[in-house]
């Protein structure tokens, strides 16, 4: 049976993100339940896994531009598979640091896959179909984000958290199988001219700074991600101590975020063909700012309802924003620069995440949860203001697709 290249890419995307989210959910449970790790060590392990998104993005972007992106897709899926195998062996053997290394390598594979997939989508669909195509890929990530914590939690309760890594192996193998039949010649992107590594990095970063739409997208994402990770760092203790939620209610609130992602991904393709891009780009950070206000109000009206609505909005609106801005990036960037441009924006985004988490934790510990939540609301509002103050607010139609400069 013959499958279209986009269907193969979509299936592989589901597999790679499922493997990544299963491993992410299994790591802290494995550390606590099997390796007797304390909260400090768990934080280090999760940080090691998250650091791959910051440290591997730029090298992966250069590789995507220097090689053909379809080759990178296959290599990234194989890397995710190998990392899941090593993680399973390390987990059942009580080997802490090999487990941490496997977490980093697996996340690096996911980083590489995401950058390569973003680069090849414009080769598979027309410019008019880009929003729908990007939405279909994001749906896989959203579903994995929603389902993985629940699945691994059930496995850890009934069997062992190491079963999360076993499922990650299956998911990564699923991705490899789908990519094995991909016609790599049909979607190959001409590789860019080889340059010294620093010169290649500068070229991608310079293009982002020079292109006004990309500059606005990057700045908006920086403020939003700093606020989001401040919220992520403080919400569980805030929910348990201030809102008096139990662990099950707290988890249900956080699952509302995944539900918002899925609804956004499902509706994104059709909504983005009907709405002007500037409306979507304003909507994402705008509803996030509203969510920040709802979280502040929840300190006066304890219970799960307001936080759940806030988390749903933070998933739904920004998912639409992500699909829209990804499409803009693909259209305004020459194909031979897509890897480095996407990596530059990704580094800016993920560089702010640990800063946001540290800021949220410090404010809640020293000043109080309300001050930390106010900072979250202000960060989301700043991301909304960026769209208002940049050319993004005037983007009433998608830009024309830029041809290769080679």
Predicted model pTM: 0.74
Class of residue 300 by CB neighbours under 10 A (exposed 0-12, middle 13-18, buried 19+): exposed
- Do 258 and 363 belong together in one domain? yes
Contacts of 402 (CB under 8 A, 6+ apart): 331, 332, 333, 334
Cα gap 21→261, rounded to integer Å: 14
Q: Do 126 and 207 belong to one domain? A: no
What pLDDT shows up at residue 46?
64
Residue 267, number of CB atoms within 10 A of its CB: 15
Question: Do 68 and 135 sit in the same domain of this protein?
Answer: yes
Q: Which of 51, 179, 56, 159 is nearest to 117 (CA)?
A: 179
Task: Count Cβ atoms below 10 Å from residue 41 Cβ, excluding itself.
Answer: 16
Q: Are 301 and 353 in contact (CB under 8 A)?
A: no
Residue 196 main-chain phi, psi, to 5 deg: -55, 150
Ordered per-residue pLDDT tens for the chain, 406 residues: 566 777 888 888 888 888 888 887 777 677 767 766 654 565 566 667 767 777 777 776 667 666 666 777 888 889 889 998 998 988 888 777 888 888 888 888 888 888 788 777 777 777 777 777 777 877 877 788 777 777 777 777 777 878 888 898 999 998 888 888 766 655 555 555 555 556 666 666 778 788 888 889 989 989 998 888 788 767 767 777 788 877 567 767 878 888 898 898 888 878 888 889 999 999 999 999 999 999 999 888 878 889 999 999 999 999 899 888 888 888 888 877 777 777 778 777 776 766 777 777 778 778 888 888 999 999 999 999 999 999 999 989 888 777 665 4
Domain end marker among 123, 146, 179: 179
CA distance 70 to 187: 7
Q: Which one-letter DSSP state was computed for residue 403? A: P
* CB 379 within 8 Å of CB 226: yes
Residues ≥6 apart with Cβ < 8 Å to 313:
260, 287, 288, 290, 291, 294
- Is the same domain home to 248 and 290? yes
Cα(373)–Cα(264) distance, rounded to whole angstroms? 24
The count of structural domains within the chain is 2
Which CATH number belongs to the domain containing residue 97 in this structure?
1.20.1250.20
- Token pair of 217, please? 């997208």
- Do the domain assignments include residue 405? no
Residue 244 lies in a domain: yes
Q: Is 123 contained in some domain?
A: yes
Are 293 and 367 found together in one domain?
Answer: yes
**For residue 358, how far is the Cα from the chain centroid?**
19
Q: What is the per-residue pLDDT for 170?
A: 92
Residue 406 domain-assigned (yes or no): no
The answer to whether residues 76 and 109 touch, using CB atoms and an 8 Å cutoff, is yes
Check whether residue 8 and residue 148 sit in a common domain: yes
Residues 6+ apart with CB under 8 A from 303: 243, 245
Cα 311 from Cα 309, distance rounded (Å): 6
Domain boundary among 179, 205, 220: 179
| 187 falls within a domain | no
The pLDDT assigned to 379 comes to 94
User: Residue 46 contacts by C-beta under 8 Å, 6 or more apart in sequence?
Assistant: 24, 27, 28
CA pair distance 194, 143, nearest whole angstrom: 38
DSSP-derived 3-state class of residue 301? coil
Q: How far apart are the first and last CA of the chain?
A: 36
CA distance 143 to 368: 34
Residues 166 and 292 in one domain: no
13 in the same domain as 143: yes
Is 143 inside a domain boundary?
Answer: yes
Residues spanned by the domain of 49: 1-179
Classify residue 69: in a domain, yes or no: yes
Task: Give which of 345, 14, 393 is closest to 178, Cα–Cα.
Answer: 14
Residues shown for the chain = 406
Residue 52 corresponds to which tokens in the numbers above? 């791959």
Q: How far apart are CA 205 and CA 215, in angstroms?
A: 10
In a domain, 403, yes or no: no
| Contact criterion met (CB below 8 Å) for 16 and 109 | yes
End residue of a domain, out of 125, 149, 179: 179
Domain identity same for 138 and 245: no
Residue linked to tokens 């990770």: 229
Query: What percent of the chain is helix, strand and coil (3-state, nearest 5)?
Result: 85, 0, 15
Instruction: Let me know if 311 is exposed, middle or buried by CB neighbors in 10 A (0-12, 13-18, 19+).
Output: buried
- Cα separation, 81 vs 22, in Å, equals 12
The predicted pLDDT at position 32 comes to: 66
Q: How many CB atoms lie under 10 A from the CB of residue 82?
A: 16
Are residues 162 and 24 located together in one domain of the fold? yes
How far apart CA 75 and CA 101 sit, in angstroms, is 18
Residue 95: DSSP 8-state: -
Residues 213 and 85 placed together within one structural domain of the fold: no
> Do 64 and 28 share a structural domain?
yes
């Amino acid at each position: 049976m013959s499958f279209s290249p986009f269907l193969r890419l979509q299936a592989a995307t589901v597999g790679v993100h499922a493997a990544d989210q299963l491993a992410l959910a299994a790591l802290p449970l494995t550390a606590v339940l099997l390796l007797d790790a304390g909260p400090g060590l768990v934080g280090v392990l999760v940080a090691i896994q998250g650091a791959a998104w910051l440290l591997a993005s730029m090298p992966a972007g250069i590789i995507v531009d220097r090689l053909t992106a379809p080759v990178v897709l296959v290599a990234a899926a194989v890397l995710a598979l190998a990392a899941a195998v090593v993680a399973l062996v390390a987990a059942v053997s009580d080997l802490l640091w090999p487990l941490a290394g496997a977490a980093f390598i697996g996340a690096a594979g996911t980083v590489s896959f995401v950058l390569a997939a973003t680069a090849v989508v414009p080769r598979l669909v027309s410019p008019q179909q880009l929003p729908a195509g990007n939405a279909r890929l994001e749906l896989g990530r959203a579903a994995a984000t929603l389902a993985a914590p629940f699945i691994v939690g059930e496995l850890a309760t009934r069997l062992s958290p190491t079963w999360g890594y076993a499922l990650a192996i299956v998911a990564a193998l699923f991705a490899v199988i789908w990519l094995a039949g991909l016609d790599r010649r049909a979607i190959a992107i001409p590789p860019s001219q080889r340059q010294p590594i620093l010169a290649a990095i500068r070229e991608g970063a310079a293009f982002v700074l020079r292109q006004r739409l990309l500059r606005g997208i990057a700045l908006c994402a920086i403020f939003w991600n700093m606020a989001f990770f401040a919220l992520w760092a403080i919400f569980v203790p805030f929910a348990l101590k201030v809102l008096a939620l139990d662990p099950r209610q707290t988890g249900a609130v956080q699952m509302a975020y995944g539900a918002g992602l899925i609804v956004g991904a499902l509706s994104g393709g059709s909504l983005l063909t009907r709405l002007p891009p500037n409306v979507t780009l304003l909507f994402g950070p705008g509803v996030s700012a509203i969510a920040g206000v709802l979280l502040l109000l929840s300190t006066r009206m304890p219970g799960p309802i307001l936080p759940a609505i806030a988390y749903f909005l933070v998933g739904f609106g920004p998912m639409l924003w992500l699909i829209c801005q990804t499409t803009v990036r693909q259209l305004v960037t020459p194909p031979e620069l897509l890897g480095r441009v996407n990596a530059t924006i990704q580094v800016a985004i993920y560089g702010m995440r640990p800063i946001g988490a540290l800021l949220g934790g410090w404010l809640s510990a020293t000043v109080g949860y309300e001050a930390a939540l106010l900072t979250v609301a202000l960060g989301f509002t700043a991301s909304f203001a960026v769209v208002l103050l940049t050319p993004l607010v005037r983007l009433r139609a998608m830009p024309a697709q830029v041809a290769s400069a080679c």
